Structure 1
Amino acid sequence: MKTKGYFLYFVWCMVQIVSGQSLRSDEIRFLNFTPVIDGKPDRQLLHLKQKEFHHFFSFDNVGASRTKITYLMGYTPTHLYLYIEAAADSITYRDRGFINGDGFKLLLAKRQKDSLTDEYYDIAFSPSKDKKYWARKRIWDYNRNQSHGKKLSSETHFEEAFYDGKARFEILLAWKDVEPYHPWFSNQLGYNLYFAKAIANDAATGYSVVKDEGIWDEEIPKRNFIPIVFEKPKNNNTAALIAKLTQRNIRVDDAVQLDLMTLSKTAENRSIEITIRDNSSKIVLDTKINCTLKNKIQHKLTSFKFRNPKPGVYHFLSRSGKDTIGQYDFVVFPKFNFDSIRSQITQNQHHLAYGTVNTLLFKANEVEKQLFQLKSYETGKKLLEQYFLFETELLSFLKGNDPYKGITKPYRRAFKSKYDNSFQPYTIKLPPDYSPAKKYPLLVFLHGSGQDEQTVLNQARSGGDFIEVAPFGRDQYNCYDSDSSQKDIVEAIEDVLAHFSADPNKMIIAGFSMGGYGALRTYYQHPELYKGVAVFAGHPDLANDWLGSGHPNFLEDQFLTPFSKIPVFIYHGRKDGALPVAKAEELIRKLKSNGIQVTERIMKDKTHEYPDDETNRIYFEWLTKIAEK
């Protein structure tokens, strides 16, 4: 459900800010007990204010009526509590219920200068009969990066129940799962709630606390929310101590700073033990601090330095008696001089291939950019790993060796664009038996939305006889429909042909989800390059749905003419809740009616996911037949 009017959305947001409508605050009550999560609110919670969803979305469902849906919120020192109640005949279980019904999304945001923010957790909850369902409780989006999506810990609980004509949903979200959003450490927080109510014919209506197009449109740069005011504890049945690091990524000369919050029913003295270990479990700091607890929230900052820290991952543990009050990983980074690093690469004293030079320059730029963008509450573990790998590759290069020679597992390369001189990445995977003396067919595979190409080739995309390449295409949300995307795909192919033994006469284009539309779009742009097209869980008219009118619709005959002489492979899950199967089936009918050869696999039990083993077997055979022609 992409918006067609980003400018109008921006204007609407500015009106909200000026009018103050988005700046009202909502108080969240303190709970001096931990609720039981079973789908039914505890008796002690009935005093909480019942809140309503302010906005209703019927979408294209003619005659859809509004249902009464309410929610309650509270918090404890360790968790955020949420209860949603909806009038219903039953609970509907669907794939990605948080969009397709019944299910919901919770946005927790860091307040910035206005009512919009690009720092947040967008957390999805989908009721499911299978408690291990992958999207049952999951961080869906984090700071505009869906690739960070992950399951919530076992300390976050979610249950649903149905009785007395109401569907009920109850969660207890661990603050540790949404660092740094603990109300005692930050008073600049906000939230939004979106509830998707299932209706007939696999459709859904929607309800939100605040209007926010980003609920559905992953390209919206900033999210809207309502500010939260957390009630100060009036009493607490037990002592609460919470310790956290103010900075989870530091340089070798920096101190570790501890932020300690305390609350107690009565005044008492406590000893806090602090231990820091390196990644081999060796203790590098072991000390104690003393503090006095009182019947109010207290704040204490303490700094520590340990001797001669080396770059790496460290483990911080804080305990009070037998209780762990803080446990974090943090990273110590080395000092960087990226100008010097780039100078060493461009000198290229051993005159190694320009593809290797371009790749190293791209990686140096990426590490520098990501280090600059790293938040204080992020460890940067993956970035440190990325730097260590880059450092190893750089040292090999400086000794006159090509660090990428002989690699058959997926790895990232880059080319220098002839259009704007920028370094653009792609991921490549060579066949296990790769030899420069042999020509290999080339499979170009396009990634889905909200992601880059780095993990696309981690599973088999061919039977092992193809060189596989996944371009980034400067695209996360635009369906590979821009000039830059199409140029990047061609340049990535040209770079592969220049440095690897790929056969330019045996190339196939494929893609998943947004990349499925992208495969159709890319073939339409350059039919002379490819011998076949494979669409996995794609949508033949996605660009017009997402970006507005004026883009190729592959359900129209005029756009199918270039496909008349090539085979097409189409896979889709009948339970796909992201891109419904009806469009794929319509594409199959249109292709066949135009005399185009189609191999189809519509799987009744599959959702929006990659193919089953049998489909892959048939697909690999399809690839091989094309390559043998």
Structure 2
Amino acid sequence: MMKTRFSFLLIFIICCTWCYAQFEAASYMINGYTLPYLVMYPKDYDASKQYPLLVFLHGAGERGDDNQKQLANGKDFLVNNFQSTYPAIVIAPQCPANTYWANVERSTVDNKTTFTFGLTDTPTPAMQTLTYLIRNWVASGKVDTHRVYAGGLSMGGMGTYELLWRMPDTFAAAFAICGGGDTRKVAASTANTALWIFHGDDDSVVPVQFSQDMYTEVKAAGNEVKYTEYPGVNHGSWINVFNSTELTPWLYSHKR
């Protein structure tokens, strides 16, 4: 029995090491602020070619500076989809602790957590550095600039929405999982960006109303938007999303 357990543990460690081995550690610094990130290149990467770029934003629980934790949710999804089937360059930055991607204020009302968006146009240092990082990659010559995508979960979903209105001429498509944002700014900035919104209808952390309102506003603006709501699912709706086979081909089908 002990030998069997050891074998399973060894296999688990090897698998985890292999997944992280697909990513290279890097960092980007501007104006004295450093943003760590991981980058994954497609299998059989050819430096003479240009590839789609996916910017993946993690949630609040993965903040820090170890440059690993940001892949706690979504690592397998990224490796399994963008290494070979839908080859793309993936960058996964890590937001420092005690701050957010988006400019958002969190509060508790009647024992329920809520968020307020759009209080200021000033970006957080993490968001400002992230926009410079993305521009740097887009201008690197490695990226197909017609196929730049963004997506994230929870706090990363909020960050995705903010990226869309801060960089309105950049993304061909984006996805936001259990997030929220400034509906008017996103609607006004996504005429040329397709958006797929996901949320669990039993989310006790980020109210599902944020995604419902975002869908309504973006749809009313005449922009391309999809909305998937998972019945009975709490905050971890990214599990449902990453187990689906529909998101990646949908992303990949969009160009600017």
TM-score normalised by structure 1 residue count: 0.31
Selected match of 1:593 from 197, 216, 220:
220
Change (3 A) 1:434 1:408: farther
Alignment of 1:510-521 (within 5 A): 510-521=151-162
Equivalence for 1:451: 62
Equivalent position amino acid for 1:478 in 2: Y
Equivalence for 1:424: 35
Contact kept, 8 Å, 2:101 with 2:124, in 1: the verdict is no
Change (3 A) 1:574 1:528: same
1:469 counterpart = 2:80? no
How many Å apart are 1:499 and its aligned residue?
6.5
How many Å apart are 1:558 and its aligned residue?
5.2
Alignment of 1:15-414 (within 5 A): 409-414=22-27
CA distance in 2, matches of 1:619, 1:428: 20
Contact kept, 8 Å, 1:531 with 1:566, in 2: the verdict is yes
Q: What's the CA shift string for 1:595-617, capped at 9, x where partnerless?
A: 12112211114221113268631
Equivalence for 2:194: 567
Equivalent position amino acid for 2:77 in 1: A
Structure 2 alignment gaps of length 5 or more: 1-19, 104-122
Equivalence for 2:15: none
Contact kept, 8 Å, 1:566 with 1:597, in 2: the verdict is yes
Rg larger in structure = 1
Q: What's the CA shift string for 1:422-481, capped at 9, x where partnerless?
A: 543111122223221221100111111142363325222383122111122446533433
SS of the aligned residue for 2:246 comes to helix
How many Å apart are 1:594 and its aligned residue?
1.6
SS of the aligned residue for 2:239 comes to coil
How many Å apart are 1:413 and its aligned residue?
0.7
Equivalent position amino acid for 1:506 in 2: R
How many Å apart are 1:561 and its aligned residue?
0.9
Contact kept, 8 Å, 2:57 with 2:157, in 1: the verdict is yes
CA distance in 2, matches of 1:618, 1:607: 21
CA distance in 1, matches of 2:89, 2:231: 31
How many Å apart are 1:483 and its aligned residue?
4.2
CA distance in 2, matches of 1:566, 1:613: 20
CA distance in 1, matches of 2:186, 2:253: 26
Equivalent position amino acid for 2:253 in 1: K
SS of the aligned residue for 1:463 comes to helix
CA distance in 1, matches of 2:24, 2:203: 30
CA distance in 1, matches of 2:141, 2:239: 29
Change (3 A) 1:583 1:507: same
Equivalent position amino acid for 1:532 in 2: A
CA distance in 1, matches of 2:135, 2:241: 32
Equivalence for 1:485: 126
1:506 counterpart = 2:147? yes
CA distance in 1, matches of 2:145, 2:98: 27
Contact kept, 8 Å, 1:448 with 1:476, in 2: the verdict is no
Contact kept, 8 Å, 1:471 with 1:492, in 2: the verdict is no
Equivalence for 2:49: 438
Equivalent position amino acid for 1:463 in 2: N
Equivalent position amino acid for 1:471 in 2: P
1:611 counterpart = 2:233? no
Equivalent position amino acid for 2:154 in 1: S
Structure 1 alignment gaps of length 5 or more: 1-406, 541-552
Contact kept, 8 Å, 1:441 with 1:504, in 2: the verdict is yes
Change (3 A) 1:471 1:561: same
Equivalence for 2:179: 538
Identical positions, percent? 21
Change (3 A) 1:476 1:607: same
Equivalent position amino acid for 1:511 in 2: G
Equivalence for 1:578: 205
How many Å apart are 1:502 and its aligned residue?
2.1
Higher relative contact order (CA 8 A, sep 6+): 2
Contact kept, 8 Å, 2:158 with 2:180, in 1: the verdict is yes
Equivalence for 2:112: none
Q: What's the CA shift string for 1:287-336, capped at 9, x where partnerless?
A: xxxxxxxxxxxxxxxxxxxxxxxxxxxxxxxxxxxxxxxxxxxxxxxxxx
Change (3 A) 1:467 1:595: same
Equivalence for 2:16: none
Change (3 A) 1:559 1:437: closer
Contact kept, 8 Å, 2:55 with 2:92, in 1: the verdict is yes
TM-score normalised by structure 2 residue count: 0.70
Contact kept, 8 Å, 1:520 with 1:535, in 2: the verdict is yes
SS of the aligned residue for 1:517 comes to helix
CA distance in 1, matches of 2:191, 2:180: 19
Equivalence for 2:254: 626
Contact kept, 8 Å, 1:480 with 1:521, in 2: the verdict is yes
Contact kept, 8 Å, 1:473 with 1:488, in 2: the verdict is no
Equivalent position amino acid for 1:536 in 2: I
More strand by share: 1
CA distance in 1, matches of 2:139, 2:216: 39
Equivalent position amino acid for 1:600 in 2: Y
